[in-house]
Structure 1
């Protein structure tokens, strides 16, 4: 598969399509990228004319950003996956990288991006009855008191 790739600050950045993500992640895991360091998202609705993508990558409102590391070679790389606003769904990496479980839940909770085949795609920070996704640019900033989920651990 020919994945658009650029180098940013000495790090390879790959731009797979949503439908290429699982095959690419499987290949990268076999190549030694055995840890997802971070998985997050960006809402680019305030920047519709951005120019930071390779020319053959169509910009979308949302982007899922995945940072990986190969501990043997100490090489790091980043995946940037464009996610359509109309259908914000990306396959879960949980089966390949179980450590992504809570990261994917946070992206779902904050941005409303769904991860297909996730084992427990429920809110992780906001109350279960919360309406909306607070890190979306179209989420109204207001004077709404929020009671975040309490930790079960004693502090």
Structure 2
């Protein structure tokens, strides 16, 4: 846990959201259509990070040696969570080091989650990996990014086999292609489904629904109440 107070000035604003769900037109029936809020990401954190975070970063820097600066873009401490932002081509090497080094021993990866930030130019797609050291009772996160135009990230299946179905789900919902995965197919949607439903540019509401013979359109096609 970090002892360093968070500074809102560290955040990086990447867009503005209007309405409760960012819907445009007739889709937002929540009553919050005039709500305006910034979409921001926490910025890099200066040392000391607090708690065991400094020891983890110091040891990783020693273990990676001269490749550390080329692999780790920055460290972010936000809400008592340490996230290491990793260049995607270095992800397997960093993960293997975190797993195998006796002073780190992050033996467990709890999966991978995707995020889509259309306003984060050149790094619209994010993949986040929560790691746990059972040996040392520590938790951190790894995060990598890739652009919409080149949505490729190396698979961590060879390092953490637990990411198998999680990478498939992230591919299915966000369109991130995990290179080297042994069977990267859809896991929730049909194989011939068009698009990736959890991306921000996917139509709100998805597909029309038939109920007792009546057609119910997706929420973004329904009438609005003002």
- Of Structure 1 and Structure 2, which has the larger fraction of its residues in helix? 2
> What is the Cα deviation at residue 59 of structure 1?
6.1
Is 2:111–2:167's contact at 8 Å kept on the other side of the alignment? no
| Higher RCO, 1 vs 2 (CA within 8 Å, ≥6 residues apart) | 1
Structure 2: state its 5+ residue gaps. 1-67, 210-226
Distance in 1 of aligned mates of 2:206 and 2:93: 44
Relative distance call for 1:112 and 1:143 in structure 2 (3 A) is closer
> What is the Cα deviation at residue 6 of structure 1?
2.2
Distance in 2 of aligned mates of 1:143 and 1:5: 36
Distance in 2 of aligned mates of 1:103 and 1:5: 24
Deviations, residues 39-85 of structure 1 (Å, cap 9, x unaligned):
1110011x44xxxxxxxxx8611110110000111100011111111
Equivalent of residue 162 in structure 2, options 99, 119, 137:
99
Distance in 2 of aligned mates of 1:143 and 1:87: 25
Q: Which has the larger radius of gyration?
A: 2
Written as runs of structure 1 = structure 2, the 5 A alignment for 1:11-90 is 11-30=81-100, 31-45=104-118, 47-48=119-120, 60-90=123-153
Distance in 1 of aligned mates of 2:175 and 2:129: 17
Structure 1: state its 5+ residue gaps. 49-57, 147-155
Distance in 2 of aligned mates of 1:104 and 1:140: 23
Aligned length: 136
Partner-residue secondary structure (3-state), 1:38: coil
> What is the Cα deviation at residue 19 of structure 1?
1.0
Distance in 1 of aligned mates of 2:182 and 2:198: 23
1:136 aligns with 2:199: yes
Distance in 2 of aligned mates of 1:123 and 1:145: 21
Q: TM-score, normalised by structure 2?
A: 0.57
Distance in 2 of aligned mates of 1:65 and 1:143: 25
